[in-house]
Amino acid sequence: NFMLRITDLHARVEEKDILKGLNLTVNPGEVHAIMGPNGAGKSTLGNVLSGREGYEVTGGSVEFKGRDLFALDIEERAREGLFLAFQYPVEIPGVSNMEFLKAAVDAKRKHRGEPELSAVEFMKLARDASKKVSLDQAFLKRGVNEGFSGGEKKRNEILQMMLLEPGLCILDETDSGLDIDALQVVANGVNAMRSPERSFIVVTHYQRLLDYIVPDYVHVLANGKIVKTGGKELALELEEKGYSWLEQVAV
């Protein structure tokens, strides 16, 4: 019983084939890093899995916790515990971070058949989580991501992840402007949440992040498929050798 099983996945964006037969199996408790050259399809994979509009699946299948992922709409995927962080941190002016988080936590608890938290109980939960990601409580009152810096958005996403307790967390580190403190917050958040029931897919260009989040597997995505899989030492090898030796294999 795997968390996620991707079989021969093909997907296109704007009439262009991006994923071309991707296979990946993630078991509960595992952390998988996905690395690869720019434009390989890493973010496309996250977007396809989360159900983002504009990404057309043209072949293959994805099983998520034993269900056909593509039979679930975007909200159902989230409710079933799939969480995609960082790729498109939306700003929602006029809705406070607190209201947004409370609504998300309420929906999660309802889905699980748990009673709704009182405002006081929720505040305590949110405050404790903010401390863990070193985000000042003032951010809870601000509009969702409104005017947040890159690092603050990432902290906020980890905060969301902590409160939502997803089963499968996909982190797509898109910008390079992450300072070492924010990097550590992300890593500490992930490490604190690692559990035998939870899985992570960490997309990163930076070997450095994997010094903090030590993955069980490292995969190279090139030309729309996984072309190499190894342990954490593969990240070091890639740092040294780049991707070109693998891209040739992939053609």
The site for ligand ADP (CB under 6 A) is made up of 13-14, 18, 36, 38-44, 54
CA 63 to chain centre: 17
Closer CB to Mg ion, 42 or 77, in the complex = 42
Name the minimum Å distance from CB 205 to Mg ion: 8
Closer CB to ligand ADP, 36 or 60, in the complex = 36
Closer CB to Mg ion, 10 or 42, in the complex = 42
Closer CB to ligand ADP, 17 or 99, in the complex = 17
Name the minimum Å distance from CB 175 to Mg ion: 10
User: Could you say which of ligand ADP, Mg ion, none residue 218 binds, taking C-beta under 5 to 8 angstroms by partner kind?
Assistant: none
User: Could you say which of Mg ion, ligand ADP, none residue 54 binds, taking C-beta under 5 to 8 angstroms by partner kind?
Assistant: ligand ADP
User: Could you say which of ligand ADP, Mg ion, none residue 154 binds, taking C-beta under 5 to 8 angstroms by partner kind?
Assistant: none
**Helical packing angle, 119-132 and 150-164, nearest 10°:** 130
Run of H or E residues at 7: strand 4-13
Closer CB to ligand ADP, 46 or 81, in the complex = 46
Phi, psi dihedral angles at 134 (to 5 degrees): 50, 45
**Which residues are CB-contacts of 75 (< 8 A; sequence separation ≥ 6)?**
none
Do 93 and 143 form a contact (C-beta atoms < 8 A)? Answer: yes
CA atoms within 13 A on the CB side of 63: 11
CA 143 to chain centre: 22
Name the minimum Å distance from CB 227 to ligand ADP: 13
Q: Which residues of 201-210 are buried (b: 16+ CB within 10 A; e: fewer)?
A: bbbbbebebb
Name the minimum Å distance from CB 52 to ligand ADP: 9
Closer CB to Mg ion, 43 or 223, in the complex = 43
Three-state SS at 88: coil
User: Could you say which of Mg ion, ligand ADP, none residue 41 binds, taking C-beta under 5 to 8 angstroms by partner kind?
Assistant: ligand ADP
Name the minimum Å distance from CB 155 to ligand ADP: 22
Q: How far apart are CA 200 and CA 211, in angstroms?
A: 16
* Interface with Mg ion (CB under 5 A): 38, 42-43
Which residue is listed with tokens 């910008």? 175
Amino acid at 79: R
Name the minimum Å distance from CB 120 to ligand ADP: 42
